[in-house]
Structure 1
């Protein structure tokens, strides 16, 4: 990837990085707004050739408890945004959690409680008003990885939250998403508003037994067999309950051709038929560091190449967490090498097939 620039008026939001566990997911020793993330980090990201950062936000810190905003808690986001602008990066304000919409706990009352929806809409109104004068460097993401019981329940919620934002931000780009953790598989039930300034963000962590193998927070515990990419999914019946969807992957050959490309082809076909002018952004994807370095590199290369080939923007997960592109030695990881490989492969393909 080419080095980043310090000034630009064209915010493309094509190649990005998630700044995880900084202003959201602050459990354990992960302190909110800890000083591990500084301008030097933003500069490093820009120097790798990325054009935007996605900053997950936990609104419990931003609400003051009386219907207003906790300005002190928002200062770190503003500071990071200034750094980003200085180094030519766009910023996505990702509302990673919302009251009644928590992908970790599968809390989904936001999709069935009209009063709660109005409270959340009021919160978004405050955020939108606060940033109404911000330039196109800033984009909003309505909510992250919703888990409504029924896919169709998501549509009116997003429409209401978008209306709240449009009261003060009529032209700002706002990302909507799909149900069941922003899945490719639920796009068919989306009913997108007639709005020229919306975009669609989706997440891709398939095949999950590879990307999240040996993780404490899933059913794929550290005792499971190693899964490589490319490779074959082992029998996981001793780890998973009978009937679990991941068991259907047992014995499958996983690689770019079988596990990534068909999913992206299907998404591209859906977009061409249903929303040909819609900007699509793969807002999260990645493989946890419990996979082998070679497999991690192969996976990032495959997803980036597929995204670039279809013209989808993307933001990899994550900067310096368990999926990191920058190691503790401050050097690029194999994930970063995979990203570069994927970009180069896409460029070569476009040269051969212009």
Structure 2
């Protein structure tokens, strides 16, 4: 698999990583044995970047990754976690150095490591990105050896731009996919200029871009694709990339029609992200080993041809842009 430098971390990572939210919670049930098999399959397929968070299953995702790393002989794996969503209430005042220490200590225990490879602020209130004290506290974590590097996970392009200009921010994680294109013009060029890595999340728009759903698809009650369609639990942009489900299903059919022979629609959507200048790694989730293997295979596809790119752009402009472009 192609490797790229992960921004200011200086680490080389495979261009397709693994998002591990689904191994913790919120995507229906995934038992421990299946979760460990997903991790093993992804790494065997060339994945070297795992993204998790302390809040995914209240630490379950982190603990599973820690168990996998302890039981396997794979070297060169970078694990990124996130912190902040455990704050109650979730306000900007909760983002203090003492809280950072407590959150990272818990993640270090869950993952079984002394130093976290990369910790990211987990979509905090926008004010947090603008405060000097935030970055002073994050710098302290590095100085104390709790973390090797830090980054941010954001909801909006404005939050990304606030963080990118900070001298020690290593990475920005942002929603980027065929249905969420705004970062291409407003974030990726600035990140490249500053040497900041881009981690592209929600790459398949919560599965819409697999092309496998229709208007009658139902999801489990404990799946955010059921309970967060209107943003009742967290930012609605995290569910189907903020695209209304029925509109997304129809647009995904058009994307599927552009998929070249020998590839899946999901692989086309992942390859589109890989082709964007400035992207360090894309982090699709997987609930089965087969999904993990197929996602990793997207890295071996050739770059997308201009005709297909034009078609994808047209689908966005006609069907998706009015629903998402101005919001995030």
TM-score above 0.5: yes
Report the alpha carbon displacement of residue 172 of structure 1 after superposing the two structures with TM.
0.5
1:286 aligns with 2:286: no
Distance 2:113 2:30 in 1: 32
Distance 2:83 2:148 in 1: 16
1:155 aligns with 2:130: yes
Q: Is the 8 A contact 1:94 1:141 kept in 2?
A: yes
1:57 aligns with 2:54: yes
Per the alignment, residue 161 of structure 2 pairs with: 188
After superposition, give the CA deviation of every residue in 1:156-178 in whole Å (9 maximum; x if it has no partner): 37426514523522770222233
Q: After the TM superposition, which residues 60-71 of structure 1 pair with which residues of structure 2 at under 5 Å, given as runs? A: 61=58
Q: TM-score, normalised by structure 2?
A: 0.58
Structure 1 residues 88, 163: closer, same or farther in 2, change over 3 A? Answer: closer
Structure 1 residues 121, 318: closer, same or farther in 2, change over 3 A? Answer: same
Per the alignment, residue 145 of structure 1 pairs with: 123
Structure 1 residues 279, 21: closer, same or farther in 2, change over 3 A? Answer: closer
Distance 1:128 1:41 in 2: 21
Q: After the TM superposition, which residues 262-341 of structure 1 pair with which residues of structure 2 at under 5 Å, given as runs? A: 263-273=183-193, 275=194, 277-287=195-205, 288=207, 289=210, 290=213, 291-292=252-253, 294=259, 295-306=265-276, 309-310=277-278, 312-320=279-287, 326-327=290-291, 332-333=293-294, 335=295, 338-341=298-301
Structure 1 residues 296, 281: closer, same or farther in 2, change over 3 A? Answer: closer
Higher helix proportion (structure 1 or 2): 2
Specify the SS of the correspondent of 1:285: coil
Higher RCO structure (Cα 8 Å, ≥6 apart): 2
1:94 aligns with 2:94: no
Query: How many pairs does the alignment contain?
Result: 243
After superposition, give the CA deviation of every residue in 1:58-116 in whole Å (9 maximum; x if it has no partner): 27845xxxxxxxxx99653421233566254222223483224xxxxxxx7321x35x7
1:109 aligns with one of 90, 98, 101: 90
Structure 1 residues 270, 84: closer, same or farther in 2, change over 3 A? Answer: farther
Q: Is the 8 A contact 1:285 1:315 kept in 2?
A: yes
Structure 1 residues 315, 296: closer, same or farther in 2, change over 3 A? Answer: closer
Distance 2:186 2:152 in 1: 19
Q: Is the 8 A contact 1:284 1:314 kept in 2?
A: no
Specify the SS of the correspondent of 2:198: strand
Q: After the TM superposition, which residues 214-233 of structure 1 pair with which residues of structure 2 at under 5 Å, given as runs? A: none
Q: TM-score, normalised by structure 1?
A: 0.54
Per the alignment, residue 22 of structure 1 pairs with: 23
Distance 2:296 2:192 in 1: 30
